[in-house]
Amino acid sequence: RKEVEQDPGPFNVPEGATVAFNCTYSNSASQSFFWYRQDCRKEPKLLMSVYSSGNEDGRFTAQLNRASQYISLLIRDSKLSDSATYLCVVDNTGGFKTIFGAGTRLFVKA
């Protein structure tokens, strides 16, 4: 079983749609959680950290369920510019064991 698993997609959605990505992790001792965005052949960029209480940043909402070892990202009112790969990232003890999921590819169509 992979340490961090994501649905690879691709997700094809029209502009304005709401889309949700899921991610599961295997290490119950994992401490920090993030969503990164990566455009094709570019470096990943931090989209948002994920907190236990859930957090929102504009159209983006992240949720963490420690009991189920599950993280989610919700994108509302999708824009063409949201087309990218979304990486689920989990930090284990000490921050030196940062584990990246394989990513979920999103295409937003006009």
Partner 1 sequence: DGGITQSPKYLFRKEGQNVTLSCEQNLNHDAMYWYRQDPGQGLRLIYYSQIVNDFQKGDIAEGYSVSREKKESFPLTVTSAQKNPTAFYLCASRETGRTNEKLFFGSGTQLSVL
Q: Which residues lie near partner 1 (CB under 8 A)?
A: 4, 8, 31-32, 41-46, 49, 87, 91, 93-103
How far apart CA 104 and CA 64 sit, in angstroms, is 17
Q: What would the two tokens of residue 5 be?
A: 């698993």
Name the minimum Å distance from CB 76 to partner 1: 24
Name the minimum Å distance from CB 110 to partner 1: 26
How far apart CA 94 and CA 5 sit, in angstroms, is 21
CB 62 within 8 A of CB 32: no
For partner 1, which is the closer residue by CB, 14 or 95?
95
Name the minimum Å distance from CB 5 to partner 1: 10
